[in-house]
Amino acid sequence: MCGIVGLYLKNTDLRPQLGALFEPMLVEMTDRGPDSAGFAIYRNTVEQAQTKFTLACNDPDNQWKSIDTDMESALECNVTVQILGDHAILVTDADADGVQNWLRENRPEIRIVGSGRSIEIFKQTGLPQDVADQFDLAKAQGSHAIGHTRMATESAVTTAGSHPFATGLDLCLVHNGSLSNHNRLRRKLERKGIVFQTENDTEVAAGYMTSKLAQGETLIQTLEAARKDLDGFYTFCIGTAEGFAVMRDPIACKHAVMAETDDWVAMATEYRAIAHLPGADTARIWEPEPDRIYTWGHVQ
């Protein structure tokens, strides 16, 4: 049992309040996921020639030292680093694949949590309120965010095993449910070169999406294929650079509710996570249908 939430602000005047609106949604799902929490925020889009990496390290005091100057020297690029606890936001004009290879060879203790031009992913073990406080979620500005509170069932409680999981540039996934064929699918994806950091079944779903997208399929095509290839019960919320998508399995046994006004669209495992939003009392509210893909923003 986990909790997932998503908020997309259609009214740009509300974007300075994204964190203040979104944090209560995440915290409201604490009883569904007290083990760990995480969220992806879309904000501060970097230049076309740049890539923004969210990094995490279990020993930040040692690992962030000189990473900017060392990378600049090795890759002949520009680098800026903003440290946020055991996470850091690194922006560079270096080739993205080159950055990943350099980190793998020179900073193996550092994990790449996400990458793109606007996405920032933060996740940690502990209560959702503590995780939100650690990363100043309430002060965040941006266009949209998705989040997850985890009650671990099939794998260990770790930061790496927390959601969201990155699925590509500016893409990430949160999931409530359980996949029954994740071990077989994991082996198949590993043969294709997909690397996994945890035993989490959601990471397998993220790896599946990464593989499909790398083959040139659109997100919608990937989700349509997932309906046939992923066995189990699930509600997915997928963050993209311009919005988010929601999909439930054909049986739809995992809770989900959606609400929309002229100012925003929101999804959550339970309505109580949405009830505080301005105008929620007059919003259009519905339960997403099984085996149907919903999208907001520019999602292809």
On whether the CB atoms of residues 24 and 47 are closer than 8 A, the answer is no
CA distance 74 to 48: 22
End-to-end CA distance of the chain: give it in Å, rounded: 30
State yes or no: is 57 an active-site residue: no
DSSP 64: T
On whether the CB atoms of residues 265 and 299 are closer than 8 A, the answer is no
The packing angle between helices 201-214 and 219-229, to 10°, is: 130
CA distance 127 to 22: 16
Contacts 24+ apart (CB under 8 A), 194-200: 197/111, 197/160, 198/155, 198/156, 198/158, 198/160, 198/161, 199/154, 199/155, 199/156, 199/161, 200/154, 200/155, 200/161, 200/165
| Beta pairing partners, 268 | 5, 257
CA distance 29 to 9: 20
Pure H helices in 29-176: 60-63, 67-75, 96-106, 128-134
Q: Which of 2, 57, 172, 237 is catalytic?
A: 2
DSSP 15: G
Phi then psi for 145, rounded to 5 degrees?
Answer: -155, 150
On whether the CB atoms of residues 110 and 15 are closer than 8 A, the answer is no
Buried-exposed string 59-73: b where 16+ CB fall within 10 A, e elsewhere: ebeebbeebbeebbe
**Positions marked catalytic:** 2
